[in-house]
Structure 1
Amino acid sequence: MKKVDLTNVFDMHVHTSPDIRERRYTDFDMLEAGLKIHARGIVLKSHHGTTMNRAFLCNLYNKKVHGKNQFEMFGSVVLNNAIGGLNPVAVETGLKMGAKVIWLPTMDARNHREKYGQLGGIECLDEKGTIVEPLKKIFKLIKDYDVALGTGHISPKEIFEVVKQAKDMGLKKIVITHPEFWVVGMTHEEQQQIVKDYDVILERCYAQPLGGGKYKSNLKDNLEIVNLVGYENVMVDTDGGQVENPPWEDALGEYMQYLLDNGISEEKIYHMTRTIPSKLLDVDIGG
């Protein structure tokens, strides 16, 4: 059986420390892991704010310590309570500092909090079911800077309305954040429909938390979605960095190998792991 090649791969969803919860890697550990497998790039994600400043320092360290190479870290902004929720000022600041992904609320989204039996939470829709005004300002910034929008942990109903508004405002880089995650809970039919209607990218991740430090593999379901929706609109990410999951590079390799072993061609895997993310991040894949 042919072994999958990780050279020039991207992962647009990785968690590292410093963080509130324990992570397997620090930012610099993740940099070294990326270099070890000759990856092209990693997007750092934090539920508690921004990572473009951390990515900058990693890239500076990489250049000073390792010299010229292809690998880059990329930063992001997650619109949770730590930075004021749907805060256009935080978004603009992050974009000016180089953020490449703006995520809608995750752990502070109303949908997320409801799923965990908690009250409150950030809402993207008003009482009439339309997009709240701060989000329209944020969408304009995302369009102006031509970066990616991730839908976070909002509900399927919110996702459809958010994507419609984003498309109407001219956003081109829209990623549905791990729709298979039980908190988001999009059905296969909903995932097919949103791709058909809006030509968005489905981010399908390695595993998902079940609580109590336990994780569930998404690999079988990911394969089903690739075959249902088509590889053109599916991006392979890990959502890695948890101590409960395998090391990041092992998880990514296992995921890609599973697809290859189950009939997904190398060309299709290349598209899902290099072509899609390189376009979202607006960078060359590398040689």
Structure 2
Amino acid sequence: MSLADPKLVDDLMQGAIDLHCHSGPSVMARALNHEQALEQAAAAGMRAVLFKDHYYPTGPFVDVLKESGKATKAEPIGSIVLNNSVGGVNPFAVEPAVKCGARVVWMPTVSAANHIREGHRKSLLPTKGKMLKQVALSVVDARGDLLDNVKQVLDIIAEHDVVLSCGHLHISEVWPLFEEAKQRGCTRLLVNHPSYTVGASLSDVKELVSIGAWIEHSICMFIPGRLKCYDDAFLKALIEAAGVDRTFFGSDLGQANATLPVEGFRQIIGLCLSLGYSVEEVRKMVGSNAAQLARIGANAPAG
């Protein structure tokens, strides 16, 4: 990977958006808290940071940061992940979360049956201490039909025009989920790290984009460090499968003993430039595409 001009990287950091930040507090080991993540993003010129925790909704932290005057240079954004800790795919958890400003609703991650199968031999997302064993969740029944509680959640997502992320569901579950979501008026469909746990192929990525989905890639999986899973050529293939206009990056960072989120963004900018993407293409993938998806800024167009 060739080294990018630091000044160019600095320029591309202006307005960048992280919709996948794992800051703390958390039952998982974290390198920084939500306030520190926001401060570091603001210092780098980033526009917004979405806090994601696998065990609790993060909207209340956003309110505290705003009320204390610590959200003037970069916008904090809340989200909710529908794991066992919030009652699973629970409309009674989703409704207050989105009314308190959650901008992304993630389907199950650590509680997803698919995630649990993937982690049978090795814990994919370890906690700091022993916790109750997760109950495996799916969005479909034994016949492959979408569950009624999932449909209720989709209606809330559509009503509030927030993002539906597939979480760690298997691609076989994502298809019926997104089909029903579109029928119920959900327009902001997100597939995070499509090849990791989700199991989407390059052809799946192309088809997902064709039905209106956005593809988010986790920076941590492509830059040097203990969380790297894939090489540069695979990243290029993933971007080409979806197209620059439907691709963006989230750091998926904040873990202890890993690159910090802001530095992760700097590294992925350099990597994308080295892969031949233009300044404007990189700007889309680290900022404006995420703004469009999550309605960040008054001028963000509809999905």
Normalising by structure 1, we get a TM-score of 0.91
- Of residues 259, 262, 282, the one that matches 2:272 is 259
Write the distance in 1 (CA, Å) between the matches of 2:254 and 2:298. Answer: 23
- Of residues 282, 292, 296, the one that matches 1:269 is 282
- Of residues 147, 168, 171, the one that matches 2:162 is 147
Write the distance in 2 (CA, Å) between the matches of 1:195 and 1:81. Answer: 30
Secondary structure of the structure 1 residue equivalent to 2:13: coil
Contact persistence 2:113–2:137 (CA under 8 A): yes
- Of residues 14, 17, 39, the one that matches 1:10 is 17
Contact persistence 2:41–2:48 (CA under 8 A): yes
Contact persistence 2:55–2:81 (CA under 8 A): yes
2:194 is matched with: 179
Q: Which amino acid aligns with 2:111?
A: D
- Of residues 25, 28, 42, the one that matches 2:35 is 28
Matched, 1:216 2:219: no
Secondary structure of the structure 1 residue equivalent to 2:102: coil
- Of residues 81, 100, 104, the one that matches 1:101 is 104
Deviation digits for residues 232-274 of structure 1, max 9, x if unmatched? 1111111111123212111111011110121111111222222
* Range 134-143 or range 264-273, more displaced: 264-273
1:59 is matched with: 66
- Of residues 201, 208, 211, the one that matches 1:194 is 208
Deviation digits for residues 7-42 of structure 1, max 9, x if unmatched? 011010011111011101111110111111011000
Contact persistence 2:31–2:256 (CA under 8 A): yes
**Unmatched 5+ residue regions in structure 1?**
none
Matched, 1:43 2:58: no
* Range 186-195 or range 252-261, more displaced: 186-195
Deviation digits for residues 165-217 of structure 1, max 9, x if unmatched? 11121211010021121x22211121122212x121011111249xxx93225
How far apart are 1:229 and its partner, in Å? 2.3
Q: Which amino acid aligns with 2:174?
A: I
How far apart are 1:219 and its partner, in Å? 5.8
Secondary structure of the structure 1 residue equivalent to 2:53: coil
How far apart are 1:60 and its partner, in Å? 2.6
2:115 is matched with: 112
Identity among equivalent pairs (%): 24
- Of residues 109, 118, 127, the one that matches 2:142 is 127
Deviation digits for residues 63-109 of structure 1, max 9, x if unmatched? 2x58xx44110000100000100110100010111111100000000
Q: Give the number of equivalent residue pairs.
A: 277
Q: Which amino acid aligns with 1:14?
A: C
Secondary structure of the structure 2 residue equivalent to 1:216: coil
- Of residues 191, 201, 204, the one that matches 2:217 is 204
Secondary structure of the structure 2 residue equivalent to 1:214: coil
1:159 is matched with: 174
Normalising by structure 2, we get a TM-score of 0.86
Q: Which amino acid aligns with 1:24?
A: A
2:291 is matched with: 278
RMSD: 2.0
Contact persistence 1:219–1:258 (CA under 8 A): no
Q: Which amino acid aligns with 1:241?
A: G
How far apart are 1:285 and its partner, in Å? 7.6
**Unmatched 5+ residue regions in structure 2?**
121-132
Matched, 1:91 2:94: yes
Contact persistence 2:29–2:256 (CA under 8 A): yes
Q: Which amino acid aligns with 1:16?
A: S
Write the distance in 2 (CA, Å) between the matches of 1:108 and 1:166. Answer: 21
Contact persistence 2:191–2:213 (CA under 8 A): yes
Contact persistence 1:201–1:234 (CA under 8 A): yes
Secondary structure of the structure 1 residue equivalent to 2:141: coil
Write the distance in 1 (CA, Å) between the matches of 2:83 and 2:289. Answer: 26
